[in-house]
Structure 1
């Protein structure tokens, strides 16, 4: 009996020691896990500024292109307006001046209503003031003036096409620069530092994406304003032809092709 009690006591002691060792090991592992979790660096949030820094030097000209795109789009929106081309508010004054065969009143109306159409018709009234002229001479003078006046807004629209063409090329140049840096790092340090290679590849991809993000809206803005310009130019030529026929109708110009 006494031997049995000694055996049970020995077993209990062994189990107690094992339990204590297990609890101690679990506590150590838990503490190590907490230390690892606390030591793990927080993931950096990706912002526009972070991407700008990752893009490298090519992001600076791309930033200039993006600012120029916004400014040009706003300016083209102001330049290419139908009211600025056809000027409906000036038609009544111009028609009254033509009906009265008063070139001075026509010039005054053109000065009072600044715009593309009045700037073109101003030359027509000046031509009438110089003497008896034919409608063909007036038409020729107006077409020459129209080609000069309407060239200004078209120039700014074409700048949008320049931005749309150059931006992806600049992004591609940044891509080539990033890949060259990546291969240089591989050649000098091997593949032991993948973070350097990742930074170079990130530079290459960010510049490509940035160039496309600028080129796509620039191309859309170009076609939008170009189509709007073509429609407005067609309307202004119709208005000029109508005014010229009205001049001939009221005797301000001779309808014949030869001067009297």
Structure 2
């Protein structure tokens, strides 16, 4: 493996670096976007039970806020609920924007790696072909070793760039889709809580 990287020339360094960063981002984001961390299944029923039993106080809100990203949204809405439906919806929307930003962390970097890696490979191809044609001009076509070295460099960097870009693009799309699904789910459940609290209040 090291011999292949060495044969690809100096452009293999940024390509390998891109692959390491991409792997780190993918692992970190999948860990960070676990359902148990973002939106635990029991969180909304627990909040509703607190409300029904009139147990919702500042300590419960603090626990909710630190429990998960969804808990952060709910606690923001519940804190503002005493000011009316619109204030609660605005607080939830503002918290949702913050949570969306948190969930999308590093995804733009992963997208950039997916876009840049094949370009680095293409640059390696161009430099390899320049080396080949320079060798032909200086030594003619007799020195096959030099020609093979340039062509090898061109092919290795192209393959390496694509090998990094394709998985990075796939995981970028998959993670973006996961973020969207989680945000929609949190938005729907938050809206249910708003309706439940204020229909209850208007009913009373």
Give the TM-score normalised by structure 2. 0.90
Pair member with larger Rg: 1
1:93 aligns with 2:43: no
Contact 1:85 1:236 in 2 (8 A): no
Q: Distance in 2 between matches of 1:244 and 1:226?
A: 27
1:68 aligns with 2:21: yes
Q: 1:166 aligns with which of 93, 116, 141?
A: 116
SS of the counterpart of 1:88?
A: coil
Aligned residues, how many? 202
| CA shift for structure 1 position 223 | 1.4
| CA shift for structure 1 position 103 | 4.2
Q: Distance in 1 between matches of 2:144 and 2:45?
A: 74
Cα 1:216–1:74 change in 2 (3 A) is same
Contact 1:135 1:244 in 2 (8 A): yes
SS of the counterpart of 2:83?
A: coil
Alignment of 1:200-239 (within 5 A): 200-239=150-189
Counterpart in the other structure of 1:247: 197
1:83 aligns with 2:36: yes
| CA shift for structure 1 position 152 | 1.8
SS of the counterpart of 2:67?
A: coil
| CA shift for structure 1 position 198 | 0.7
Counterpart in the other structure of 2:143: 193
The CA RMSD over aligned residues, in Å, is 1.9
- CA offsets per residue over residues 144-185 of structure 1, 9 Å max, x none? 110111112213223222111100000011111111111111
Alignment of 1:1-260 (within 5 A): 48-101=1-54, 102-104=56-58, 106-111=60-65, 114-128=67-81, 132-251=82-201
Contact 1:90 1:109 in 2 (8 A): no
Contact 1:163 1:215 in 2 (8 A): yes
- CA offsets per residue over residues 192-219 of structure 1, 9 Å max, x none? 3111011011000100011011111111
Alignment gaps of 5+ in structure 2: none
- CA offsets per residue over residues 71-109 of structure 1, 9 Å max, x none? 111011012222333222322331122224434354144
Kindly report structure 1 stretches of 4+ aligned residues shifted beyond 6 Å: none
Contact 1:164 1:214 in 2 (8 A): yes
Give the TM-score normalised by structure 1. 0.72
